[in-house]
Amino acid sequence: MTLPATRRPPELRMTEEEFEAWCTADVRAEFADGKIIEMSPVSLIHDRITHFLGRLLGNYLEVRPGGQVIGPEFQVRLRGGLRRIPDLLYIADDKAPLLKPTYLDGAPDIAFEIVSDDSVDRDWRDKFHDYEANGVGEYWIIDPAHRAARLYVLVDGHYQEVPPEDGRLTSTAIDGFWLKPAWLWQDPIAGALACLREMGVLS
């Protein structure tokens, strides 16, 4: 069976325009200078952490407005020829004009990645470099297998790790927002509303 041009197998190289036509809603893939990177289905812990962070950030920004959290599955066009899909992303209000119907045309203020078995090198190395080189202000990497959470902030074009203080990682992009990595490793995972109360956002 011969596939139409817009549905070519991902092992073939494509132009960015061909990738945009090929990558429909049922395809989970990234694009890096002609190479298609297919992404495996996420694990249960990956899904739980992603949704916890989405609820936590979404509710935080509802109480303290200042930008928006988007994802999962929303594409970011970091530059021509490079499209990534952070697990979650955050943009401040001034970047809202960069939002297109199916992707963000530029660097988000924050990219969040939850490491999966198939994404260790991609998250810790490839995306680290891509986000750093293309101006993503903060990069949060959460690695459930090693119960590790890291926060990197862009300073003079290079990422610097922000150490935790009192068990918290504090954002420089979202005013007043912080995260206790210990919340992520609870079983069951912490409730977003309870965490917001601990943060003093909700009474």
Same domain as 154, residue 82: yes
Same domain as 111, residue 85: yes
pLDDT, tens digit, for every residue of 147-159? 999 999 999 999 9
What residue type is assigned to position 156 of the chain?
D
Asked if 82 contacts 130 with a C-beta cutoff of 8 angstroms, the reply is yes
H or E segment and range at residue 133 = helix 127-133
Same domain as 84, residue 14: no
Same domain as 110, residue 34: no
Domain that residue 25 falls in:
1-38
CATH code assigned at 166: 3.90.1570.10
Same domain as 122, residue 23: no
Same domain as 171, residue 92: yes
Q: What's the CA gap between 144 and 32, in Å, rounded? A: 26
Same domain as 176, residue 80: yes
Q: What's the CA gap between 40 and 28, in Å, rounded? A: 8
Same domain as 10, residue 103: no
Same domain as 187, residue 149: yes
Confidence of residue 22 (pLDDT cuts 50, 70, 90): confident
pTM of the full structure:
0.91
The b-or-e profile of 72-82 (16+ CB within 10 A means b, else e) is bebbbbbeeeb
Kind of pairing between the strands at 88-91 and 110-114: antiparallel
Same domain as 46, residue 29: no
Same domain as 89, residue 34: no
Same domain as 90, residue 33: no
| Contacts for 9 with CB less than 8 Å, ≥ 6 apart | 3
Asked if 99 contacts 68 with a C-beta cutoff of 8 angstroms, the reply is no
Confidence of residue 10 (pLDDT cuts 50, 70, 90): low
Q: What's the CA gap between 197 and 127, in Å, rounded? A: 33
pLDDT, tens digit, for every residue of 63-103? 999 999 999 989 999 999 999 999 999 999 999 999 999 99
More confident site: 20 or 109: 109
Asked if 108 contacts 91 with a C-beta cutoff of 8 angstroms, the reply is yes
Range with the lowest mean pLDDT among 30-44, 46-60, 122-136?
Answer: 30-44
- Per-residue pLDDT for 55 more than 90? yes
Count the domains in the chain: 2
